[in-house]
């Protein structure tokens, strides 16, 4: 199929850029040093490519992602890097044909995991992200509680998400400060695993045993401005549906097709004036002219994770040829 035959809006994955990203990260973090985070791409077909690159353990954000990966035969070592207290999903994960570890950060989450039959946990530690995680001083106590309830405590995790967009001149020092908290907790908890980090700190975070990165595979404008060695592989493919004599054009993809929490998307040759529910309004840059109704444009999302979650399939392209399709089969909760 030619890319111009696709309906719009559609998500495109540039096959060559994706291959570059996979190879670049695999060289920097080979094998088990990387635990790819499926929340960024939500596709077992894409995950298979990372498994083939040597990364057999995966990180997930939702029970559905864990269960979907297990059902796809990718359950060698799955980490739900999130707290869950709902007994239904916990029991389902405990019964899955997979090795499943869940994050815990309180008595309630430890007790819920044990009651549901979960066998392994990581103690989630607050390293400054204002999200989940116990205080460093409480990590050892939680680990002891988990072991008393029959859980195996594999180690600790801590996500320095607040530092993913930290300026380069201060990023290393601030990551070291965050990881000092995690290592302090690990000294009390024990275990072989120190899990954390992400695409934005893949270079600086040298204290962890495994990196939880996912956005690197497809990228977005937020990470694209961080000087990382990864290429933009994800694009929203749109059709121009209206051109105004007033000097703007409108394409058929807006808030319902793009994650907008990191700002507006970008489009080569245009300035994005704004996005509405079903449309993005484009102004030509410099001496560039307006497109015609029916022309196609590539838009670069500002945030990969929620953008992918809006769509049902990723179309893999080389040039103008569609060479594969990857279902986004891990959407939802």
pLDDT tens profile 135-194 = 999 999 999 999 999 999 999 999 999 999 999 999 999 999 999 999 999 999 999 999
| Length of the chain measured in residues | 333
User: Measured between alpha carbons, how far apart are the two ends of the chain, in Å?
Assistant: 32
The domains of the chain, with CATH numbers, are: 3-11+230-327 (2.40.37.20), 30-212 (3.20.20.10)
At 271 the three-state DSSP class reads strand
At 17 the three-state DSSP class reads helix
Confidence band for 301, pLDDT divided at 50, 70 and 90: very high
**What residues contact residue 274 under an 8 Å CB cut-off, 6+ apart?**
264, 280, 281
pLDDT tens profile 42-70 = 999 999 999 999 999 999 999 999 999 99
The answer to whether 302 touches 19, Cβ cutoff 8 Å, is no
Q: Which residue has the tokens 């990203």?
A: 21
pLDDT tens profile 191-224 = 999 999 999 999 999 999 999 999 999 999 999 9
The percent of residues above 90 in pLDDT, for the chain, comes to 99
pLDDT of residue 45: 98
Alpha helices in the chain, H assignment, sequence order:
15-28, 44-52, 63-71, 87-95, 107-116, 139-148, 168-189, 221-224, 304-309
Average pLDDT over residues 246-271: 96
pLDDT of residue 286: 85
Cα–chain center distance at 2: 28
The answer to whether 128 touches 160, Cβ cutoff 8 Å, is yes
H or E element at residue 97 = none
Confidence band for 287, pLDDT divided at 50, 70 and 90: confident
Residue 288 has pLDDT above 90, yes or no: no
Confidence band for 117, pLDDT divided at 50, 70 and 90: very high
Q: Which residue has the tokens 């796809």?
A: 72
């Amino acid at each position: 199929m030619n890319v111009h035959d696709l309906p719009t809006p559609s998500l495109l994955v540039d096959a060559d850029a994706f291959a570059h990203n996979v190879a670049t990260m695999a060289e920097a973090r080979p094998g088990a040093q990387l635990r790819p985070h499926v929340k960024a791409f939500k596709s077992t077909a894409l995950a298979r490519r990372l498994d083939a690159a040597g990364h057999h353990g995966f990180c997930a954000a939702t029970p559905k992602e864990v269960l979907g990966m297990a059902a796809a035969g990718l359950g060698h070592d799955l980490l739900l890097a999130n707290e869950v207290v709902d007994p239904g999903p916990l029991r389902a994960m405990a019964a899955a044909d997979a090795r499943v570890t869940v994050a815990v950060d309180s008595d309630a989450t430890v007790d819920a995991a044990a009651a549901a039959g979960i066998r392994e946990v990581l103690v989630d530690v607050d390293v400054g992200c204002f999200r989940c995680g116990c205080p460093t001083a409480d990590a050892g106590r939680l680990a002891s509680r988990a072991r008393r309830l029959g859980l195996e405590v594999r180690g600790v995790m801590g996500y320095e998400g607040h530092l993913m967009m930290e300026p380069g001149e201060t990023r290393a020092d601030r990551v070291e400060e965050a990881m000092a908290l995690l290592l302090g907790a690990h000294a009390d908890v024990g275990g072989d695993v120190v899990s954390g980090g992400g695409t934005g700190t893949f270079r600086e975070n040298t204290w962890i045993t495994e990196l939880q990165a996912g956005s690197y595979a497809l990228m977005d404008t937020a990470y694209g401005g961080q000087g990382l060695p990864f290429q933009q592989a994800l694009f929203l493919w749109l059709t121009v549906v209206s051109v105004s004599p007033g000097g703007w054009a409108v394409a058929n993809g807006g808030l319902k097709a793009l994650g907008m929490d990191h700002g507006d998307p970008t489009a080569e040759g245009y300035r994005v004036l704004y996005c509405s529910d079903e449309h993005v309004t484009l102004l030509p840059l410099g001496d560039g002219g307006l497109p015609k109704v029916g022309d196609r444009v590539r838009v670069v999302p500002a945030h990969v994770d929620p953008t992918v979650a809006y769509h049902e399939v990723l179309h893999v392209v080389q040039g103008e040829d569609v060479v594969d399709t990857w279902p986004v089969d891990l959407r939802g909760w």
